[in-house]
Structure 1
Amino acid sequence: MQTHVATTPFGRRSMTLGQISSQVSAKAMPTEAMVNKWEVFQHIREAREMLGATDRALAVLNALLSFHRDAELRADGVMIVWPSNEQLMARANGISPATLRRHIAILVECGLVIRRDSPNGKRFARRGAGGEIEQAYGFDLSPIIARAQEFKDLSDAVQAEKRALRVARERLTLLRRDVVKMIDAGIEENVPGNWGRVLQIYQTTVSRLPRSAPRQHIEDICNELQELHVEIRDTLESFVRSQKMSANESHSERHIQNSNTDPHKESEERSREEKEASASGANNRNLHSLPARELPLGIVLDACPDVKALAKGGEIRHWRDFLAAAEVARPLLGVSPSAWQEACEAMGEVQAAITLSAILQRSDQINSAGGYLRNLTDKAREGKFSTWPMVMALLRAKLDASRSPAHKASDPRNEGKSPSERLEVSDALLRSLKRPR
């Protein structure tokens, strides 16, 4: 015969409003309610962080559920289990008594179980004459039934959040890949644009991304990268359209020239163009004697090693890293944004970055880096400037310094090394260095 249902814990354990709320929910559930205890346990395990439960607490809950014989929990059945601490510790993977008590308290605080303590704190059941349980003291599993739908909703919310986080991470990966490769394409194809600024924006945005970021933070970063993605794509698409228009116009011009029936006039125009070209070549003999190809990044870095210190991580592997470092060097040298913009327009951004790196390398010899850059920009507009002589001069100075006896004696890195080990250059580069300016 059930004499009294205990509502307060035994001993010095205090009663809380949360425990009373769990008891109210257990009393309010319909008598026909029934759930599969392992399905509900799966929902609880997925939503454990939202419930405030720990992994060890769930191990204890799993052990408590195992002491209930049936897989189904019924509101009209016996919902109390009364295992001893020794039995619980054995089924909870052998945890210590102190750990067991701590995590049982967590289960009670989370409202997953209810304590039904006996007058002396022991756990047991009293059976009647027919063998039916009349009175039981232990842990009441009624909240598993009463809150089953709540646990399912929480589990669904957690799964939806995981899916949203996975989608956000996939979007972030795609945006980062697209932005980096489109920047590389713009630099390699010499598309007009301030690619150094774009790189700086990208690196600043990505640097705010921690190793383990929440979904909302990832989505905010994605939104910023999306704006940058649209800007870069529009720049590249505009350039492609302009190239197509130029190709169409030149195709039409070729048709017009082919329709010319006066061979004497055509030969006169060709001879005049050849004379102009030869005159221009005579005026700019030094520039025309330089290699037609672009300066390799490795040669630039050999000539201007100081720019590496301004790169992220102190390493430059691609032109995009070089442009980003040049953007950092610009304000350090006191070059105004307008002077930099004019240099990029006149030389192209890569050549302007090489020029700025050379100025940085010789900053101790240049009083006004901004004025010097403007002077070189004016020469570039007139076709009288190339970065090859600047880089070759820096390499020549570096080579001469490595060959000087004072440098050999003062530099400890040169001890035990032959001259070829100190500075390795190709034969083609040596011929370029020896060529008169």
Structure 2
Amino acid sequence: MKKAKKMESGSVTTPFGRRPMTFGMLASQAAARKIEPGQSIDKWKLYRALCEARPLLGVTDRALAILNALLSFYPKGEISEDNGLVVYPSNAQLSLRAHGMAEQTIRRHLATLIEVGLLIRKDSPNGKRYARKEQGGELREAFGFSLAPLLARAEEIERLAAGVAAERLHLQRLRERLTLCRRDVAKLIEMALEEGAAGDWNRVHLHFRDVVERLPRSPSAEQVAAVLEELEMLREEIINQLEMQVKTQNQSGNAQHSERHIQNSNPDSISELEPSFEPKQGATADDRSAGQVEPIGRRGKNGEGNGHVAAARSASAANGALKSFPLGLVLQACPEIAAYGPQGSVGTWRDLMAAAVVVRSMLGVSPSAYEQACEVMGPENAATVIACVLERAGHINSAGGYLRDLTRRAERGEFAIGPMLMALARINVPHRGKTG
């Protein structure tokens, strides 16, 4: 019996009928004779490696589906010479296990598997697929498709699969680095434009878009690496340019810059990173509700604001100060802001302003844009506008640009919070009523 099995993988077979013999078939049969004694491999582990190495083997996914069906007819879990190497299902049986694939398509994919050296056709005298068994039921000889090439090439196939997996992982990591670098460059350019940093940032942005759009839809690792290298150089240049400007500003000791920030040894406190406000001495509750509070960092020893704040206040007063609204109405129109307050709720104007600081950062609004809004509108009204922007965040492309535009309009007396607040109240009140 073992002798017959050895002949099964060791003899040369020619195809039935008009199918010609080729050098490729002869080479596949010669390679199949190099199986080591006792060699075996798990058939499904090998199949997974074949699927991984498919691009390098030159087979299609449909051809692998046929090979999957053939392996399902192999009686053992381990492919070895001792278990026999020939499977002999009919095309009709293959079609059933290949989810109803047409027989003509099956024949085409079988020819592909034979051509790339993954199968050997072992034809019977009449071209049919069958097996002869001994009286005791032991298999004597079988005609069909030999899996000997799979066993002979198992090590090669696993090596190819490992290479493909490593290349895929390499490409994935390159893509991740590219995504992070693209985000960094885009946000740094946006910050430079919004903060009015010196430099031709429109030209930098055009160059950035040109580099990114050069990448094809399905890039190779080499293409991703080339674009990544160029973007990393661009990011380095942008960072160097911005850091030089920050260093220059720090060394110049700009008095206005010093007045706008309250220095403190605790860098983690929100109050040091955002404008801080307290009511004027002797101000009434109505004054505070109307937004008539003054930034701490803008008053001198005698309580007088600097020239910039005085100009903003006088412009606002000349055009009519913004009307303030009850906190209850603001929360009714803008319920989402409450989740960002201290302990997840908003009960006072101070809570609302603290929540606005958090939301400001989340929406990408720069500290200077929010600071200017507080100067022109008053801190309560600025916080109210931030709450409104949060409600409509999905419809606003640039929250920072939108806030700056509203601030300019408020300075000219062309903006009122009421219509925005009432429109949101009409939307949110029915919803809250249903769920409340």
Q: Same fold (TM over 0.5)?
A: yes
Q: Which residue of 2 aligns with 1:148?
A: 154
| Larger CA deviation: 227-236 vs 17-26 | 17-26
Q: What does residue 415 of structure 1 align with? A: none
Classify 1:140/1:217 alpha carbon distance in 2 versus 1 (closer, same or farther; 3 Å).
same
Alpha-carbon RMSD: 3.7
Q: Take 1:58 and 1:24, find their aligned partners in 2: how far apart are those partners?
A: 23
**1:139 corresponds to which residue?**
145
* 1:246 and 2:273 aligned: no
- Whichever residue aligns with residue 152 of structure 1, its letter is E
Provide structure 2 residue ranges, at least 5 long, that are not aligned to the other structure: 259-306, 308-317, 319-367, 370-395, 402-407, 416-436
Provide the residue aligned with 2:31 in structure 1.
25
Check conservation: 2:32, 2:149, Cα contact below 8 A. yes
Which whole-Å CA distance do the structure 2 matches of 1:426 and 1:230 have between them? Answer: 38
Answer yes or no: is 1:207 the counterpart of 2:213: yes
Call closer, same or farther: CA 1:121–1:241 in 2, change over 3 Å.
same
Structure 1 residue 24 displacement after superposition: 1.4
Q: Percent identity?
A: 44
Q: Deviations over 1:150-189 (max 9, x none)?
A: 1111111111111111111111111111001111121222
Q: CA deviation at 1:203?
A: 1.2
Hey, what's the Cα distance between the residues in 2 that align with 1:121 and 1:162? Answer: 43
User: Is 2:62 the counterpart of 1:56?
Assistant: yes
Query: Match of 1:89?
Result: 95
Q: Which structure 1 segments of 5+ residues have no match?
A: 253-276, 278-288, 295-315, 322-387, 389-424, 431-437
Where do residues 113-132 of structure 1 align in structure 2 (5 Å cutoff)? 113-132=119-138
Distance 1:102 1:250 in 2: 79
- Corresponding residue number in structure 2 for 1:47: 53
Q: Identify the residue that residue 198 of structure 1 maps to in structure 2.
A: 204
Task: Give the C-alpha shift of residue 68 in structure 1.
Answer: 1.2
Whether the 8 Å contact between 1:187 and 1:195 is mirrored in structure 2 is yes
Letter in 1 for 2:216: P
CA separation in 1, counterparts of 2:245 and 2:20?
74
What CA distance in whole angstroms lies between the structure 1 residues aligned with 2:216 and 2:400? Answer: 23
Q: Which residue of 1 aligns with 2:226?
A: 220
Q: How does 1:336-351 map to 2 (within 5 A)?
A: none
Alignment partner, residue 171 of structure 2: 165
Give yes or no for contact 2:133–2:141 (8 Å, CA) kept in 1. yes
Equivalence for 1:406: none
Q: Aligned partner of 2:91: which letter?
A: N
Matched-pair contact (CA < 8 Å) for 2:56–2:160? yes
Report the Cα distance in structure 1 between the residues aligned to 2:211 and 2:246, rounded to whole angstroms: 27
Residue of 37, 41, 66 corresponding to 1:35 = 41
- 1:11 is matched with 17
Alpha-carbon distance in structure 2 between the residues aligned to 1:6 and 1:20: 7
**Contact preservation (8 Å) 2:86, 2:144:** yes
Q: Deviations over 1:3-22 (max 9, x none)?
A: 99452222222333332222
C-alpha contact 1:40 1:148 (8 A) present in aligned 2: yes
Task: Tell me, yes or no, if the aligned pair for 1:36 and 1:72 is still in contact at 8 Å.
Answer: yes
| Matching of residues 262-341 of structure 1 within 5 Å | none
Q: CA deviation at 1:201?
A: 0.7
* Whole-angstrom distance in 2 between the partners of 1:8 and 1:220: 51
Cα drift, residue 239 of structure 1 = 1.1
Aligned residues of 2:86 and 2:147 also touching (Cα < 8 A): yes
What residue identity is the alignment partner of 1:224? E
Distance 2:135 2:191 in 1: 88
CA distance in 1, matches of 2:257, 2:137: 102
Q: Is the 8 A contact 2:12 2:26 kept in 1?
A: no
Q: 1:54 to 1:180 in 2, by over 3 A?
A: same
2-structure distance, mates of 1:19, 1:198: 59
Cα gap change, 1:320 to 1:53, in 2 (>3 Å) = farther
Is the 1:183–1:320 Cα contact (8 Å) retained in structure 2?
Answer: no
Per the alignment, in what secondary structure is the counterpart of residue 149 of structure 2? helix
Deviation of the 1:131 alpha carbon: 3.7
What is the number of equivalent residue pairs in this alignment?
Answer: 274
Structure 1 distance, partners of 2:68, 2:184, is: 47
In the superposition, the TM-score normalised over structure 1's length comes to 0.56
Q: Matched residues in 2 for 1:251 and 1:226: separation?
A: 31
CA distance in 2, matches of 1:236, 1:251: 17
8 Å CA contact 2:12–2:29 kept in 1: the answer is no
How high is the TM-score relative to the length of structure 2?
A: 0.56
Is 1:236 aligned to 2:235, yes or no?
A: no
- For residue 128 of structure 2, what is the amino acid of its counterpart? K
Measure how far apart 1:250 and its partner are.
10
Q: C-alpha distance in 1, partners of 2:22/2:251? A: 78
Q: Deviations over 1:129-161 (max 9, x none)?
A: 554333221100011211111111111111111
Tell me the residue number matched to 1:181: 187
Contact 2:63–2:109 (CA under 8 A) maintained in structure 1: yes
| Max Rg structure | 1
**Residues 88, 143 of structure 2: 8 Å contact kept:** yes
Q: Match of 1:35, SS?
A: strand
| Secondary structure of the corresponding residue to residue 29 of structure 1 | coil
User: 1:320/1:199 Cα in 2 relative to 1: closer, same or farther (>3 Å)?
Assistant: farther
> In the TM superposition, what is the alpha-carbon distance from 1:99 to its structure 2 partner?
0.8
